[in-house]
Structures are given as structure tokens and as C-alpha cells.
Structure 1
Amino acid sequence: MDTPPPIPLPVPDRLPDQAARRGMPSLTRERRAPTPGQMLRRRLTVGALKWLLPGAAVVLLAAIALWPEFDRSEDRGRLSFRRLTGGVPDAMRVVSPRYDGVDEQQRPYTVTASVAAQQGADPNIVLLTAPRADITLSGGEWIMLESDDGRFYRNTNILDLWGRVTLFHDNGTTMLTERAHVELNAGSAEGDAPVAAQGPFGTLVSEGFRLTERGAVVVFTGRARTVLEGGR
């Protein structure tokens, strides 16, 4: 059998260098010029550092120089606080107070308010903000009185109300006035300010009122005018 002729190998245009012949990568790399954006960022960073470093040094030196003043002002603040806490308050305030009691016939009543403040030397006199009195009647009915402000005498169970005094009766009667004097033990109330009332009977205006027998009897005093429901 004849031997086939050898296949000619391609000859490169130029021979690789000695490093390539040994299988080693080239130690040189191509250097690229920075882009305009990179140059701008470098300039901004250098400019910012030129201002930040001196500024930080100035702040540090100022803090070191003023530190004794900070210590003295802290001492003065502590002294002022001790003086304030050592004083005696002019009034004792209680939020959402509640007073429960019974009248002469053991019928319960309750006096509440949004704020109670005790002022003056007499501990039995309490000033009330938004007071409200709930009184239970003998037959199970109830009366509720409320106003803007009031004064409660705890030793005598007397309640003085003023500023938009409103009385609600269980039978649907509503009465509006500006002042009312309420004796909780006796179950009575009275006032000499103009009164406007509305209920199942109709409407009524008068110069004052008196409420006795725990709301069973209401007398309107002074000149009064009434408009009855249904023309009665």
C-alpha cells in the first residue's frame, strides 16, 4: 500500500514572541484615556475635599474651645430644675374626677367633670370644668344637669353651675339657662337667669325656675310664656 503524502501546515505571518511560546500571558496592557465624565467627577471630589477637611478642622477646634461653656450651662440647668421642683403648686388638679353619694332618702347621685381643681385654703371647695350631675328619682327616672363650669362644695353636697347650663329629664324635657344652684341632698335646684324649656307639653320661656322633690315639681318664676303642643 502506498503511503499518503504529508499535509502541509500553514505558516504564520510572524512568529510569536518568547513569552507566547512558553504559554505565559503578556505583562503589558493597553492604557485607556479617562472619559470627560470621569475627569469631572474627580475634579468635584478633589474640590469637595478641599472644603470639607478644613471645615471639619474648624468645627473640631470650636467644640474644644466651647466645651467648658457647655459644662457650665448644664450645671445651671440642673440648678434651675431643682428650684422649680421644690415649689408648692397653687392648685391640685385631677383629671376625670367622680363623686358618688346619696341624698337624705338614700337615693344615689353622681357628679363628674373633665377636670377638678382645688384652690384656696378650704379643701371642700372644688372648681369643676365641664361638670355633670346624674340624679336618680324615686320612681326610677333620672335627671341630668351639665354646664361649662361649676363649683362643688363637698361638705354640704351643693353644686353651683354656670355657663350653658342644660337640664335633661327622663320624660323628654330639656331646659336651658345660664346659672343653677343644686342641692344634691335635698334633690332640689333653682336659678334666677332666663330659662328656655321644651318637652312633651310644648315650649316655655321664663325668668327663672325652681325644681323640687327631685324633679317631680318644676316651677317657672317671673314672667313666663308657654306654647302648648296641639293648641292646648
Structure 2
Amino acid sequence: MAKVTLPFFAVVLILLVVVWPQLEEQVITEGTAIGNSILESSTPDTLSALNPKYLGLDEKNQPYTIIADLAEQSSERENEIFLTLPKADITLEDGTWLALSAQTGLYDRDAKYLNLNGQVNIFQDQGFEIVTEEAMFDAKAGSAYGQLPVQGHGPAGTINAEGFIITDRGKRITFTGKSKLIILPGAQEALKQ
């Protein structure tokens, strides 16, 4: 019995080693991964999914992910997906990341724009956090902006401003309008870490 089962399992393992990278490559290319989602139609022209996950690549082939608790898509506007409790993140070549979360969102698959609304939190891996009520995330360019009042804090201090612009895939944050910056003692040491 062992003469038959051991070679069989060896062949199965070899096939998995050969086939698995090809399957993984298909998932990483742009698209929606439903995973354990439950698809249902609440109305005849609306499709819903629980815990959807969207994987994509930006202009520089850096991966980004958009997940949510619930996604709804209308048959009238197939490129727009309404999200409940969306979260988005982009990982850069050097391993740094930028993450966004909100109460609701609208993702345009064609333009690769995510419009976030309600308690928008933006985190940068160096310890900076921005809180506002609305933000637009351009997944393709790896940038974000907002025109409503914003509060932020980080290792260097705190800031209040009328808006913000994040460029260079999270490396540069510009605050717009009337702004008030409070720099903490020892800010240069905190930023070096």
C-alpha cells in the first residue's frame, strides 16, 4: 500500500509546486477576489458581496488592496461599487505603506478612484495619522487629497488645516488653507527613528 500512496502524494506535491505560482500570479493581476464572500441580490438590479477584496497595481506596478465589509453594485452603473467600511492600502517598493479607512466609500473601477466619506482615517507607516470627513484616493497614482478640515498628528507634533494633498505615494503630505502646526520638543529625534 505504501508503494502506491507515497508516489501518488509525491506527484501531487510536485504538481502543486508547479501550478501554485501560476494561480497566485492570476490573483495578483488586477481584479476582484471574492474569497469567502456571499453574493446576493437585494433588489433585481443590485449585486451585493460580503467582505470583498479588490487587488490592483498602480502606475509603477506597486500593489494596492481595497477591502470592505459590504460591496454593492448597481446594474445601471457597473463601474461604480458602493462600499461599507472600506479600507485601502498601497505598499511601496521600499516596504513603506499608506492606509485609508472610512465609514462609506465609492470605488470607480475604470478611473481607479476611491471616494471616502465619514470618519476618514489616513495612516502612514512612519507614525502619521490624518483624520477628516472626506478624502479622494487615486489608486493608480498612489495619491490622496481632501478639501474638508483635517486634524493630524505624528512623531513631530500636531496639525489642523483646511485640507491636504498626499503625493509621491505617501512620501509627501501638504496641508492646504489656513493651517496651525504645533511642533513637539525633540521632533527631529522622533523623525530620525
TM-score class normalised by the smaller sequence: 0.7 to 0.9
CA gap of 1:190–1:96, structure 2 versus 1, over 3 A, is same
SS at match of 1:214: helix
Task: Determine the C-alpha separation between the residues in 1 that align with 2:95 and 2:43.
Answer: 46
Task: Indicate whether 1:216 and 2:165 are aligned.
Answer: no
Residue 102 of structure 1, aligned match among 38, 49, 57 = 57
CA RMSD, 1 decimal: 1.5
How far is the alpha carbon of 1:231 from its aligned partner?
7.3
Specify the alignment match of 1:153 in structure 2.
108
1:113-140 C-alpha deviation (Å, 9 max, x unpaired): 0000012512110000000001112321
Runs of 5+ consecutive residues of structure 1 not aligned to the other structure: 1-86
Conserved? CA contact 2:104–2:117, under 8 Å = yes
Structure with the higher strand share, 1 or 2: 2
Task: Determine the C-alpha separation between the residues in 1 that align with 2:94 and 2:137.
Answer: 20
CA gap of 1:171–1:231, structure 2 versus 1, over 3 A, is closer
Conserved? CA contact 2:83–2:105, under 8 Å = yes
Task: Determine the C-alpha separation between the residues in 2 that align with 1:157 and 1:123.
Answer: 13
Specify the alignment match of 2:32 in structure 1.
none
Residue 187 of structure 1, aligned match among 142, 145, 153 = 142
Instruction: Kindly tell me the number of residue pairs found equivalent between the two proteins.
Output: 146
Specify the alignment match of 2:17 in structure 1.
none
Structure with the higher helix share, 1 or 2: 1
Specify the alignment match of 1:167 in structure 2.
122
Task: Determine the C-alpha separation between the residues in 1 that align with 2:161 and 2:92.
Answer: 25
Task: Determine the C-alpha separation between the residues in 1 that align with 2:156 and 2:165.
Answer: 18
Task: Determine the C-alpha separation between the residues in 1 that align with 2:130 and 2:45.
Answer: 36
Q: Bigger shift: 222-231 or 204-213?
A: 222-231
Specify the alignment match of 1:228 in structure 2.
183
SS at match of 1:230: coil
CA gap of 1:204–1:124, structure 2 versus 1, over 3 A, is same
Task: Determine the C-alpha separation between the residues in 2 that align with 1:117 and 1:159.
Answer: 14
Task: Give the TM-score of the pair, scaled to structure 2.
Answer: 0.73
SS at match of 1:122: coil
Specify the alignment match of 2:96 in structure 1.
141
Q: Which has the higher contact order (CA 8 A, sep 6+)?
A: 2
Task: Indicate whether 1:112 and 2:67 are aligned.
Answer: yes
Residue 121 of structure 1, aligned match among 57, 72, 76 = 76
Return the letter of the residue paired with 1:109.
Y
Task: Determine the C-alpha separation between the residues in 1 that align with 2:96 and 2:168.
Answer: 13
1:75-104 C-alpha deviation (Å, 9 max, x unpaired): xxxxxxxxxxxx962311100000000001
**% identical equivalent positions:** 40
Runs of 5+ consecutive residues of structure 2 not aligned to the other structure: 1-41, 188-193
Task: Indicate whether 1:197 and 2:165 are aligned.
Answer: no
Specify the alignment match of 2:3 in structure 1.
none
Moved over 4 A (4+): none
